[in-house]
Amino acid sequence: MNFLIPHLFNVESLQQEMKATIPPLTTEENTFFETSEIVKAYESDKNYQTTMCEPIEGEPGLLFHEFLILLGRIALKFVKTSETVSGRLEDFFVEKLNFRKQTETVQPTYDEVTKRL
């Protein structure tokens, strides 16, 4: 995220988007957001490439589908390269996160597969 923060958005915005994606359900989770634990972790991380992620007391869990929703929220809110939702999502995933664009592949026919055997 260091190449996205502060160039695309700041860490405080990340914390707000996380809280909106996974609202706190317990007092501990609320305290986690209210004490800005995400900001503290970001500011204290001197070598993000080797940092191991250890859960903090009260840290809310982020499931995979919630992570994808969070990425989508970031794309929609902070990427301004397109007027369409699909354009913003594509620009974020391809240009900012360096995902490869899926190319259309043609499925081989049964005869083509059996010729290879």
Look at residue 21 in the predicted model and tell me its pLDDT: 95
> What is the 8-class DSSP label of residue 94?
I
4-13, 22-31, 41-50 — most confident range: 22-31
More confident residue, 33 or 110: 33
Sole residue written with tokens 């190449």: 3
For residue 33, name the pLDDT band (cuts at 50, 70, 90). Answer: very high
21 contacts 73 by C-beta, under 8 angstroms = yes
Burial of 24 from C-beta contacts in 10 A (0-12 / 13-18 / 19+): middle
Averaged over 97-109, what is the pLDDT? 80
Q: The pTM is what?
A: 0.74
